[in-house]
């Protein structure tokens, strides 16, 4: 387990966090990242970013009045690719289910 303090980067910590996950953590290892909250949008953006990278967000919690901590587990490439494929299939299914609803709305007008 490694701890990374990204508070000094203010709002521009995403790239560095991704770099540390990919290059500094070993597969299966957990990293704890602390960053400055700012306007709270960084909390959801950081969770989305970890999901986009394909790793596991294990926890997300308030550290103090101005800082937030997320706990991330680095996953192996095979698991990441499997998760990405599942996410793409889920998105395709959601789009497929939304198409008839949009058609119904247009017909109703």
Q: For the chain, what is the domain count?
A: 2
CA angle 82, 12, 50 (to 5 degrees): 15
pLDDT tens digits, one per residue of 33-83? 999 987 788 899 999 999 889 999 999 999 998 999 999 999 999 999 998
pLDDT tens digits, one per residue of 7-19? 999 989 999 999 9
Read off the pTM.
0.78
- CB contact burial 1-24 (16+ within 10 A = b; e otherwise): eeebebbeeeeebbeebeebbeee
Same domain, 43 and 88: no
Residue 47 and residue 70 in contact, taking contact as beta carbons nearer than 8 Å: yes
Classify residue 54 by its DSSP letter. T
Residue 25 CA, chain-centre distance (Å), reads 16
Domain span including residue 81:
77-109
Same domain, 91 and 47: no
């Amino acid at each position: 387990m490694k701890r990374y303090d990204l508070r000094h980067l203010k709002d521009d910590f995403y790239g560095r966090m991704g770099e540390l996950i990919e290059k500094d953590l070993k597969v299966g290892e957990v990293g704890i990242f602390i960053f400055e909250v700012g306007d709270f949008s960084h909390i959801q953006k950081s969770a989305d970013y970890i999901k986009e990278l394909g790793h596991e967000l294990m926890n997300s919690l308030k550290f103090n009045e101005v800082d937030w901590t997320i706990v991330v587990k680095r996953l192996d490439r095979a698991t990441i690719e499997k998760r990405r494929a599942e996410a793409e299939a889920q998105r395709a299914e959601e789009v497929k289910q939304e198409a008839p609803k949009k058609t119904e709305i247009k017909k109703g007008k």
